[in-house]
A and B are shown apart, each in its own frame.
Chain A
Amino acid sequence: MNESPRIEIDPASSTPVVRQILDNVRLLLVEGKLAPGSPLPSVRRLAMELGVHFNTVAESYRQLAAEGWLELKHGRNAVVVRRSVTRVANRDWADGFRTRVRVLVAQIRSEGVTAKALAQELQIIAAEVTKS
């Protein structure tokens, strides 16, 4: 029996819980762990399991639906849909990506991680992305 994907949040984190849920679910969607057509837990159930307000989960689901990942229907579970991605034509995304990665690298390095270890991790991630 396949284990269901899990998400985790840290209420003590400075990142808002809505954002944490959004990022976690999006990661599972991008990695294909949530296949198109599979239903997500109801807002109420996920909120109870995470110990957050229903509106928090509902807001995350709404944002994912706005991004085109989910289909929301009243009275039914949210369902993952096949997302049609518009290919980005220009190179603006690369500048934004580099800026965000640099910020992240600086943050991790400030926590004491060595540059070498960080570079190795980035290579692993690059290999995973290439495979997918």
Chain B
Amino acid sequence: MRLFILLYNIPMGAMLFALPNLTRPGLLFGVPVPAGFRQGPDGRRAIRMYRTVVGPFLLAALCLSFLVPLNNTFGLFAVAFPLGLMLVAGIAFYIQYKRLRPVVVAIAPVRQAELATTPDRLPWFAWLLAVPFAMLISAAWYLHLNWIRIPAKFPVHWGIDGLPNRWDERTVNGVYGPLVFGAENVRVVPGVCSRRLVWFPAVAYAEYSARNHGRRGVLYWNLVCRNCRGTLTEHSSVALNLAAVGDHCFWLNYDPEKVHGIRRSFGIDAGQMLEGGRDLLQPGRCGTLCSEAFWHRIHVQFRQPMVVDLALGPRAGYSFSRVFMSFREALIQPVVIIKSRAKFVVKLSDRQHRSRSDRQPFSTVWGESLVEPPLARCRSSEKLKGRAIEPGASC
């Protein structure tokens, strides 16, 4: 979990730290400055002052990433880290902007353009945008193959209180709609950011292109990565999660003190967690009910009696909702997630063997009687179709 927080936040922190060097030479902290000003004493002083503010904050936040315990406090910290960093960097940037305003140079009234005779071509890194599209297509294909495993009803939006406030059904619109929305978001990326990064810089094209190719590539890659992350966590996570769980019950008896990485985003990285109920219902042992202690231990916050495949729980985390899911889903995730998951699988499997004695009939969640007919719990199993199941019977 800490690793994921760092993987996500370090690039952002590094980018904010390096921000003064990411703009073109004639622009410093949003102020058009004379040529060579950046290398002069005043320019270097402004950059130094900015970094004096951002650097220690970034360093302290990174240190805290290792020190804060993995509980709800960590979730708060995980949200506060990027927001705080952006706020501090924004304030520092504004202070330098105000300081540099007196040295602003008048923009030349005459505008020049190069009549390049070479045909327009996108830089090679523009094709990186195909990655999130490929992820969306993979997700759509996976959902198509696992259609039957998606619950008939599932939440798609959570309130600030952590409870779902909007639900969707297993329909074409409900399942694939978010993916279309995600594709639209991905499509907007070049429209929003490529003006500066990819295609049309504000200075002579050939000169800019030759000088800043690598830098623009890094920035663009960062945007694409963030888009990949957002594409799946924001737009396809719910149905994908629910379709992906089931066969692999790795986190059936996991230790909630150790697992904090399961969560669905809400707004800017503040979110609530979604758990696939099938995992909690012990696939392959459908007649066996979990103990109340087990439900409490995993902090199940919300459970819908009529939708046995669904259980929700809030937990501190940071938008890596598919870390503990099946290998099939992990195949469409970045390699780093597969590696992390493999590490956790060992721990969780081990714990599963040790904790089976905990399972006793489960009675209530949040004061509501939830003793469900075992047949309903087993309805996803092909073996049980048309059979009456006695309480406690095995699949």
Contact = CB atoms under 8 A, between A and B. Distances in A.
B113 A6 contact: yes
A44 B110 contact: no
A41 B121 CA distance: 11
B115 A28 contact: yes
B115 A25 contact: yes
A4 B110 contact: no
Interface stretch (A32-40, A95-103, A108-116): A32-40
Nearest to B208: A49
Contact of B113 (A8, A12, A44): A8
Interface in B100-116: 109-116
Contacts of B110: 8-10
Interface stretch (B43-51, B197-205, B349-357): B197-205
A50 interface: yes
Contacts of B117: 4, 34, 38-40
B120 interface: yes
B200 A5 contact: no
Contact of A77 (B120, B195, B202): B120
B199 to A, nearest CB: 7
Contact of B114 (A34, A42, A49): A49
Contact of A8 (B112, B120, B195, B205): B112
Interface string A47-78: 01111000000000000000000000000010
A5 B116 CA distance: 7
B386 interface: no
The winner among A44, A46, A50 for most chain B CB atoms within 10 A is A46
A41 B115 contact: yes
A5 B119 contact: no
Interface string B174-208: 00000000000000000000010001101011100
Contacts of A8: 110-113
B115 A77 contact: no
A9 B111 contact: yes
A7 interface: yes
B204 A49 contact: yes
Contacts of A77: 119-120
Interface residues of B, number: 19
Contacts of A6: 112-115, 204
**Size bracket, chain A contacts:** 20 to 34
Given A45-B120, A45-B205, A40 B115 contact: yes
A11 interface: yes
Contact of A45 (B109, B111, B112, B200): B200
A39 B205 contact: no
Contacts of A42: 120
B194 to A, nearest CB: 11
B109 A11 contact: yes
Interface in B112-140: 112-120
A38 B200 CA distance: 21
B112 A7 contact: yes
B109 A7 contact: no
Contact of A50 (B111, B119, B199): B111
B30 to A, nearest CB: 17
A7 B111 CA distance: 8
A5 B202 CA distance: 17
A5 B109 contact: no
A46 B114 CA distance: 8
Given A45-B199, A77-B120, A11 B113 contact: no
Nearest to A49: B113
Contacts of A51: 111, 202
Contacts of B205: 41, 45, 49
Interface of A: 4-12, 25, 28, 34, 38-42, 44-46, 48-51, 77
17 contacts: A4-B114, A4-B115, A5-B115, A6-B112, A7-B113, A7-B115, A8-B113, A9-B110, A10-B111, A11-B109, A12-B109, A25-B115, A34-B117, A38-B117, A46-B113, A48-B195, A49-B205
Interface of B: 109-120, 195, 199-200, 202, 204-206
Given A8-B112, A40-B115, 13 more contacts: A4-B206, A5-B115, A6-B113, A6-B114, A10-B111, A38-B117, A41-B114, A45-B120, A45-B205, A46-B113, A46-B115, A49-B200, A50-B113
